[in-house]
A and B are shown apart, each in its own frame.
Chain A
């Protein structure tokens, strides 16, 4: 392996070789994407999603404090009525010219059952706030997503998940919920009461009404060890089945053009607290961007630089309560596509994705995330009756992301993947009917609860009606 001095010298040479023209090109590529105007000609305030690729000028913004206020909005508000959580979905679930509905004022823990280890939580609660709130009553969610800015309602609505072979997505641990419908009903749903609605609307895309509160099956608060280490992609992929069996939570990030992966495992422990250090992910991602900028068209230099950097770096460990370690700050914005595949197809598909990106898209620098999720029985769950391996491909928010549709999605679809509801995909009703065994049943429940389609925007009409 070359020394750091050697690879840095090679980088300097690359910079000189590429010259001023390349510097100008990088400056052009680094420009801030243009934003729509803050207000439209009617004085309506702009709404954009987190990454910036979806936008709308809602006629009304509603933030109810009570279920009564919420029902009134659902019955009489300007349509389409679109619930929004934290705006982290990349698909057009939230854009509306009608009513943008936030449940930010309906948050917090309602009650808990210490014996059953359950808690009832208002749907507007942000996951980042839920962790400490549950810890205060001795409970935790064993599985949390990579980002914890989402609202609980938004996370459930999109099938948001963490990782772990024996762990379900968040909706898999829901034992009951309350749904406010556009017809004006407030329905309590569980496996025995309104059971069809419970199965159909646990993952709901915000299209069945608005979930107001949820009862979660939690577990006892525990201390966990989070370990992060650099490995080669080949080694991690080879060991992936054994890693799943050995660790409570496990995931890895394959870094294209480097041959490297970052392996993250989380396991219960009795070790004393060792707090996580200052977040280094921003610097890491921007370093990968610099590497792309400098050596993007010199693959061997790019690979050597990354491998030299990796050479002497020790594994990183932290010990704390899980809610403090499972999720991360993500101040660097991006766009993302994620599909959930049959577990046996995950690694072959990932190899194809990496090969395609390394052959065709030297501009890509974000790591590719691989996770595993247990099966559940929610009718619109991407994990419906199927243990799944997920593959998530990211693009920096300033960069082109069409390659996700043109290069990545065909591979993931070929391997039988179901898309994450909140992440980029191009599928419509006919595709979902083929992918989801209970699709027609779920859609029938939705149409019964919202016969006038008050919750449907253009994106959801394509999803549910193909139009």
Chain B
């Protein structure tokens, strides 16, 4: 894929999707980078598989601890959310590419990321 910023910058069609972080968003981004599960095993799984996207705003993924971003996802209900996580959706690869994760691990990681605690 090309690093073709010249096209991205000039095609007005893409401009509307460019994020403009507000101060509160910056706080969310800074906090996401510092959060980790308290359980050691879960913390390892999070660090290996989830953190690369959910702690970095550029990924486009809902950030860890960003309650507002997770709210509409949680509103879909646990079965749908788990299906989307395990099966993958949009930029989210299946299971977050956590191959050691069980269904219970995925649920625990969703809970952690959606609350930050």
Query: A and B from one assembly?
Result: yes
Verify B2–A286 contact, CB threshold 8 A: no
Kindly list chain B residues whose C-beta atoms are within 8 Å of the C-beta of A149: 52, 97
* Choice from B10, B14, B90, B101 contacting A290 with Cβ under 8 Å: B14
* Choice from A280, A306, A333 contacting B91 with Cβ under 8 Å: A333
Verify A128–B52 contact, CB threshold 8 A: yes
Verify A286–B95 contact, CB threshold 8 A: no
**How many angstroms from the CA of A306 to the CA of B7 in the assembled complex?**
7
* Choice from B11, B84, B91, B94 contacting A287 with Cβ under 8 Å: B11
The number of chain B residues touching the other chain, given as a range, is 35 or more
Kindly list chain A residues whose C-beta atoms are within 8 Å of the C-beta of B90: 32
A84-B99, A262-B2 known; A48-B88 Cβ under 8 A: yes
Verify A32–B89 contact, CB threshold 8 A: yes
Kindly list chain B residues whose C-beta atoms are within 8 Å of the C-beta of A288: 4, 7
Kindly list chain A residues whose C-beta atoms are within 8 Å of the C-beta of B61: 331
Q: B111: CB under 8 A from chain A? A: no
Q: A136: CB under 8 A from chain B? A: no
**Taking the nearest CB of chain B, how far is it from the CB of A12, in angstroms?**
10
Kindly list chain A residues whose C-beta atoms are within 8 Å of the C-beta of B84: 35
Verify A284–B4 contact, CB threshold 8 A: yes
**How many angstroms from the CA of A16 to the CA of B44 in the assembled complex?**
52
Interface residues of A in 208-235 (CB under 8 A from B): 228, 230
Q: B1: CB under 8 A from chain A? A: yes
Interface residues of A in 257-303 (CB under 8 A from B): 261-262, 264, 278-288, 290-291, 294
A35-B83, A39-B103 known; A50-B93 Cβ under 8 A: yes
Verify A286–B17 contact, CB threshold 8 A: yes
**How many angstroms from the CA of A306 to the CA of B9 in the assembled complex?**
11
Kindly list chain A residues whose C-beta atoms are within 8 Å of the C-beta of B89: 32, 35
Q: B102: CB under 8 A from chain A? A: yes
Verify A253–B17 contact, CB threshold 8 A: no
Name which of B17, B61, B84, B93 has the most chain A CB atoms within 10 A of its CB: B93
Name which of B6, B14, B61, B95 has the most chain A CB atoms within 10 A of its CB: B6
Verify B1–A309 contact, CB threshold 8 A: no
Name which of B48, B52, B58, B99 has the most chain A CB atoms within 10 A of its CB: B99
Q: B13: CB under 8 A from chain A? A: yes
Verify A86–B97 contact, CB threshold 8 A: yes
Kindly list chain B residues whose C-beta atoms are within 8 Å of the C-beta of A306: 7
Interface residues of A in 349-369 (CB under 8 A from B): 366-367, 369
A52-B94, A282-B60 known; A8-B12 Cβ under 8 A: yes
Kindly list chain A residues whose C-beta atoms are within 8 Å of the C-beta of B100: 61, 63, 102, 104-105
Verify B86–A38 contact, CB threshold 8 A: yes
A394 nearest CB neighbor, chain B only: B1
Kindly list chain A residues whose C-beta atoms are within 8 Å of the C-beta of B4: 230, 253, 255, 262, 280-281, 284-285, 287-288, 367
Interface string of B1-30 (1 = CB under 8 A from A): 111111111111110011000000000000
Verify B13–A48 contact, CB threshold 8 A: no
* Choice from B1, B5, B13, B82 contacting A366 with Cβ under 8 Å: B1
Q: A25: CB under 8 A from chain B? A: no
Interface residues of B in 51-94 (CB under 8 A from A): 52-53, 58-61, 82-84, 86-91, 93-94
**How many angstroms from the CA of A279 to the CA of B2 in the assembled complex?**
11
Q: A87: CB under 8 A from chain B? A: yes
Kindly list chain B residues whose C-beta atoms are within 8 Å of the C-beta of A50: 93-94, 97
Kindly list chain B residues whose C-beta atoms are within 8 Å of the C-beta of A394: 1
Verify A283–B17 contact, CB threshold 8 A: yes
Verify A331–B95 contact, CB threshold 8 A: no
Verify B14–A105 contact, CB threshold 8 A: no
Verify B8–A283 contact, CB threshold 8 A: yes
* Choice from B2, B11, B59 contacting A255 with Cβ under 8 Å: B2
Which 10 pairs between the two chains have the least Cβ-Cβ distance? Answer: A313-B6, A35-B87, A48-B94, A283-B8, A262-B2, A253-B2, A280-B5, A63-B100, A284-B4, A38-B86
Beyond the given A287-B13, A331-B60, please list 20 additional residue pairs across the A-B interface where CB-CB is below 8 A. Answer: A38-B83, A39-B86, A45-B95, A46-B95, A52-B88, A63-B99, A104-B48, A230-B4, A253-B2, A278-B58, A280-B8, A284-B3, A285-B4, A310-B6, A310-B7, A312-B6, A316-B3, A329-B59, A331-B53, A367-B4
Give 9 pairs: A residue, B residue, CB < 8 Å, sorted on A: A32-B89, A36-B87, A37-B87, A46-B87, A46-B95, A48-B87, A49-B94, A230-B6, A309-B9
